[in-house]
Amino acid sequence: MSILVDRESRVLVQGITGREGSFHTEQMAEYGTNVVSGVTPGGKGKRVAGAPVFDTVADAVAETAPNVAIIFVPARFAPDAIYEAVDNGLPFVVCITEGIPVADMVPVYAHVRNAGSRLLGPNCPGLITPGEAKVGIMPGFIHTPGPVGVVSRSGTLTYEVVDALSRAGIGQSSAVGIGGDPVIGTSFIDVLGLFEADPATEAIVMIGEIGGADEEQAALFIQEHVTKPVVGFIAGQTAPPGKRMGHAGAIISGGSGTAAEKMAALDAAGVRVVDRPSAVPAAIQAALS
């Protein structure tokens, strides 16, 4: 079992002939992801990693029937790329692009929800179901199949924790990077619910960071709806108020959104909270024993 993507997923890459798009398409295909097509206006007739390139999403959908879209286009074009994917019936869209203005994402978020599609990101590393499919920029070689679901706001911390888990002999069912922008399409709560419903996931790792209230909301959800053990880590424990740390959403404002508040909320919900990424494997082993 897996969540969101598996070996049956048929992936369309928007911006496939660009530097990032072509590189990561090759990486996804090499991992075993079923990349069926790509889109670059004016690129019809080209091929990347064996996948045909079309001028529009509509043409790609008609010819290759994808069910997942991943977006590698500049920030000024990314909202339109999301609209194009959703309006052509793609049920799941992953947006890697960073730097999209919040004011642009608010109507995009509403449009995706109204269309009944799911958006992951923007400004996220994507997701992977080890041994089945990689849709994004995650380094596939650090992941191993297993019973632990991973969900994170941070890309690099995801890699650090996953590598530590794999080195400890603990595999992952799926790993999902939701992104750290203030407006994102898929929340901690969304992914926690999917892991709770996935019979192959026996425990969950949740990696949060300072800023916003997503982790506190997730803590309430865990307390009420999640029966599986959860291990949590919050980045930014020494961050000063008013300083943005990495992601646009990672800022402590008005005394709220601190690491201490988030850690306390998770602890109150029964989450095993660790103080560093390297402590995650031992906490997971204890939770599964």
| pLDDT tens track for 238-278 | 766 655 555 545 454 444 578 899 999 999 999 999 999 99
Check if 143 is active-site: no
* Ranges for all domains in the chain classified under CATH 3.40.50.261: 139-288
**C-alpha to C-alpha distances, 241 to 16, 46, 238, nearest whole angstrom:** 40, 50, 10
Within the chain, which residues score under 70 in pLDDT? 1, 239-256
* Ranges for all domains in the chain classified under CATH 3.40.50.720: 11-120
Indicate the pTM of the whole model: 0.94
What are all long-range contacts of 279-284, with beta carbons under 8 Å and residues at least 24 apart? 279/233, 280/161, 280/164, 280/165, 280/205, 280/231, 280/233, 281/164, 281/165, 281/167, 281/168, 281/170, 282/168, 283/231, 284/148, 284/165, 284/170, 284/203, 284/205, 284/229, 284/231
The CATH number of 139-288 is 3.40.50.261
The pLDDT of residue 194 is 98
The third-level CATH classification (topology) of the domain covering 11-120 is: Rossmann fold (3.40.50)
